[in-house]
Structure 1
Amino acid sequence: MRKVLLSEKIDEKGIQLLKDNGFEVKVSANTDAETMKKEIADAYAVIMRSSELPAEVIEAGKDLKIISRNGTGINNVDVDYATKKNIMVAKVNGANAFSVAEYVITTMLMLSRKILPANQLIHDKKEELAADGSLPGFSTKYNLNGNQLKDKTLAILGLGKIGQVLVKLAEAFGMNVVGYDPYIKDSPVKLYDKLEDIYKVADFLSINMPLTPETKNMITAKELKTMKKNVFIINSARGGIINESDLADALNNDEIAGAALDSFNPEPPAPDNPLFSSKNTILTTHLAGTTVEANQALGLGAAQAIIDFSNGKTPEFPVNAKDLK
C-alpha cells in the first residue's frame, strides 16, 4: 500500500478520498526537518500545508514521486530540487478564492468603519458612556465615525482567481476597482502598467500576488511614502511582499491609515515583530483562506492530484510537469 505523508493534517474528506483509493495516510509527528526526513523516507507522496519542505527533506524521500500542495502558493517547497529529483509538484488553484476575497472585504470594512477601536472604547469607557447617555455623541467624541466603501478606489495587486472574485465583491459595494497584473491578458477592470501609478490612487490596496524574487520587498518605505495618507493596506497573500518594519513605521507615523495582515515573514511572527505594536493594525493567523468550506475543497484537491498522478494522469494544476524527464 502506497503511503501518503501529510506534513500537517488536512481536511477529513481529503484523507478519506485517499483511503478510498487504496492509500495509507500518515500525519507527520512534527514539521521540523529531522522528523520529516524520517517520516518521508518510505512515502510515495507528501501533502504540504504551510510548513517548509527543503531540499534535505525531499532528498530523504527515496520513494517520493509527487509533492501535492494543499493550497496555491508554493514558496514553502523547494520546487527546483524536486524537479532535479524528477518529482512532480502540484498545487490547488482557486479552492479558497472566495474565502480570501471575503477576508479582504471583511478587514476593509473593519478598518474603514473603525470597528476595533469602537469595540475597545465601549469596553474601556463603559462608565463614561453610561453617564454621558449618548452613543452617537460618544462616537463623535472619540472619532469613531468611519467611512463607507462606496465610491472609494480599491487597487488589487494580482488579478488571479482571488483577485477576480474580489473585483465582483468590491463592485457590489459600489467601489471603483483598478488592478495591476503584468501576467494577465483579459482584465475585468482598468489595469495600471506601473506600480508607482496605482499606489497614488488607492484608498484600499489589496495584495493578492505570490511571493517571488520580483515581489519580495515590493513595498518598502519608499513606496509607502507615495500613497495617500488615508490608504488601508490588506495583505492576504504572503509575508515578505511588504517590508514589515517599514510598514510599522508608516502606521505609527500616520503616513498611512491602517493595515490588515494575514501572513508574515517569517511565520509565525517573532514576539518583537514591530507590527504587534503598530497603530490601527489587524493581525490574523493565516486564516484568510482556511474556512471550513475552503479547507474541504483544498484537501480534496490535494488528494485528487495524487490519485490522478498515480493513475498516470497529469494533476489538474501541475507546477513543474514540463520540466520533468
Structure 2
Amino acid sequence: MKKVLLSEKIDDAGIDLLKDNGFEVKVSSSTDIATMKREITDAYAVIMRSSELPKEVINAGKQLKIISRNGTGINNVDVAAATEAGVLVAKVNGANAFAVAEYVMTTMLMLSRKIIFTDKLLHEKKDELNNVSLPGFSTKYGLNGNEIKGKTLAILGLGHIGQVLAKLAQAFGMKVIGYDPYLKDSPIKLYDNLNDVYPLADFLSINMPLTDETRNMITKKELTTMKKTAYIINSARGGIINEYDLADALNSGVVAGAAIDSFNPEPPSPDNPLFNSKNTIVTSHVAGTTLEANQALGIGAAQAIIDFSHNKMPQFPVNPDVFKAGN
C-alpha cells in the first residue's frame, strides 16, 4: 500500500478519496524539518499546505514520486529540488477562487464602512448612549463610512481569483482595472505599467503569486504614489508588499487602511508591525479556507496523486517535464 504523507491535515473528503483508492494516509506529527525528513522516508506522495518543503526534506523521500500542493501557491515548495530529484509537483488551481474573492469584497466593505472601528467604539462607549441617538453618536465619532459603488478597484493579478473578484466588484458598481503582464485578453482594462495603476486605486487587491519578480514589489516608493484615501488588501502572499513600509504608511496617513491575510514570514512574529498599525484588519490566512473551499482543495490535491498513480498527468502540473509513465 502506497503511503501519502500529509504535512498537515487536509479536508476529510480528500483523505477519504485517497483511502478509497487504496492509499495509506499519514498526517505528520509536526511540520519541522527533522520530523518531515523522518516521515517522508517511505512516502510515495506528500500533500503540502502552507508549511515549507525544502530540498533536504525532498531528498529524504527515497520513494517520493509526487508532491501535491493543497492550494495554488507553490512558493513554499522547492520546485527546483523536486525537479532535480525527478519528483513531479502539482497544485490545485481555482478551487478557492470564489472564497478569496469573497474575502477581498468583505474586507473592502468592512474598511470602507468602518465596521471594526464602529464595533470597537460602540463597545467602549456604550455608557454614552443613554442621551444620544445612534446617528448622532456615529456623526460625533466619524463612523459614517463610504460606499464602494463608483470607486476604483485595481487588481494585481488576473488569474482565477482576480477574474472572479472583478465580476463581484462590478456587480457592486465598482470601476475595475488591473495589471497582469502574462494575460493577453481581459474583460477589464489592463495597464502595462504598474506605476500607472497605484495612483488610480481606491482599493488595491494583491492577487499575485510570490516570485522573484513580485517579491518586495510594493514599498514606500509605490505607497507614496497612492491616494491617502486608498485601501490595500493582500490575500495573496506575504513578501509581495514590504510590511514595515506598509505599517509606516498606515500610521502616517499615506494610505487609509489595509486588510492583510498573508505575512512574511508565516506565522508572523509577535513584533510584526502590522499587528499595531492603524486601521488594519489582520487575519490568519483564511481568505481561501472556507469549508467549501477546503473540501474542493482537499479533493483536488488527492485527485492529483490518484491520477499520477494511474499514469495520468495531474490537471495542474508545475514541472511536467519530469512526468514519466509507469509511476
Task: Give yes or no for TM over 0.5.
Answer: yes
Q: Map 1:1-325; keep pairs closer than 5 Å.
A: 1-132=1-132, 134-323=133-322
Please give the alpha-carbon distance, in whole angstroms, between the structure 2 residues aligned to 1:309 and 1:31: 24
Q: Which runs of 5+ in 2 are unaligned?
A: none
Paired residues of 2:87 and 2:322 also in contact (CA < 8 A): no
Please give the alpha-carbon distance, in whole angstroms, between the structure 2 residues aligned to 1:129 and 1:195: 47
Please give the alpha-carbon distance, in whole angstroms, between the structure 1 residues aligned to 2:307 and 2:276: 47
* Superposition TM-score, scaled by structure 2 size: 0.98
Paired residues of 1:83 and 1:324 also in contact (CA < 8 A): no
Give the secondary structure class of the aligned counterpart of 2:286.
coil
Paired residues of 2:88 and 2:322 also in contact (CA < 8 A): no
Give the secondary structure class of the aligned counterpart of 2:314.
coil
Runs of 4+ in structure 1 over 3 Å off: none
Give the secondary structure class of the aligned counterpart of 2:318.
coil
Please give the alpha-carbon distance, in whole angstroms, between the structure 2 residues aligned to 1:318 and 1:78: 14
Give the C-alpha shift of residue 130 in structure 1.
Answer: 2.0
Give the C-alpha shift of residue 39 in structure 1.
Answer: 0.3
Give the C-alpha shift of residue 323 in structure 1.
Answer: 5.0
Deviations 1:18-73 (A, max 9, x none): 00000000000000000000000000000000000000000100000000000000
Please give the alpha-carbon distance, in whole angstroms, between the structure 2 residues aligned to 1:177 and 1:129: 40
Please give the alpha-carbon distance, in whole angstroms, between the structure 2 residues aligned to 1:262 and 1:129: 34
What amino acid sits opposite 2:69 in the alignment?
R
Please give the alpha-carbon distance, in whole angstroms, between the structure 1 residues aligned to 2:19 and 2:192: 48
Paired residues of 2:247 and 2:274 also in contact (CA < 8 A): yes
Paired residues of 1:68 and 1:89 also in contact (CA < 8 A): yes
Give the C-alpha shift of residue 185 in structure 1.
Answer: 1.4
Deviations 1:133-163 (A, max 9, x none): x100110110010000100000000000000
Give the secondary structure class of the aligned counterpart of 1:239.
coil
Please give the alpha-carbon distance, in whole angstroms, between the structure 2 residues aligned to 1:70 and 1:181: 24
Please give the alpha-carbon distance, in whole angstroms, between the structure 1 residues aligned to 2:235 and 2:157: 11
Paired residues of 2:313 and 2:323 also in contact (CA < 8 A): no
Give the secondary structure class of the aligned counterpart of 2:216.
coil
Give the secondary structure class of the aligned counterpart of 1:26.
strand
Give the secondary structure class of the aligned counterpart of 1:182.
coil
Give the secondary structure class of the aligned counterpart of 2:248.
helix
**Percent of paired sites with the same residue:** 76
Please give the alpha-carbon distance, in whole angstroms, between the structure 2 residues aligned to 1:46 and 1:117: 43
Give the C-alpha shift of residue 131 in structure 1.
Answer: 2.7
Give the secondary structure class of the aligned counterpart of 2:5.
strand
Give the secondary structure class of the aligned counterpart of 2:30.
coil
Paired residues of 1:218 and 1:241 also in contact (CA < 8 A): yes
Paired residues of 1:153 and 1:178 also in contact (CA < 8 A): yes
Please give the alpha-carbon distance, in whole angstroms, between the structure 1 residues aligned to 2:148 and 2:224: 23
Please give the alpha-carbon distance, in whole angstroms, between the structure 2 residues aligned to 1:261 and 1:285: 9
Give the C-alpha shift of residue 197 in structure 1.
Answer: 0.3
Deviations 1:260-284 (A, max 9, x none): 0000000111011111110000000
Please give the alpha-carbon distance, in whole angstroms, between the structure 1 residues aligned to 2:210 and 2:322: 21
Give the secondary structure class of the aligned counterpart of 2:67.
strand
Please give the alpha-carbon distance, in whole angstroms, between the structure 2 residues aligned to 1:312 and 1:236: 35
Q: Note the aligned Cα RMSD (angstroms).
A: 0.7
Give the C-alpha shift of residue 186 in structure 1.
Answer: 1.2
Q: Give the length in aligned residue pairs.
A: 324
What amino acid sits opposite 2:57 in the alignment?
V
Give the secondary structure class of the aligned counterpart of 2:161.
helix
Please give the alpha-carbon distance, in whole angstroms, between the structure 2 residues aligned to 1:264 and 1:172: 30
Give the secondary structure class of the aligned counterpart of 1:150.
coil
Give the C-alpha shift of residue 101 in structure 1.
Answer: 0.2
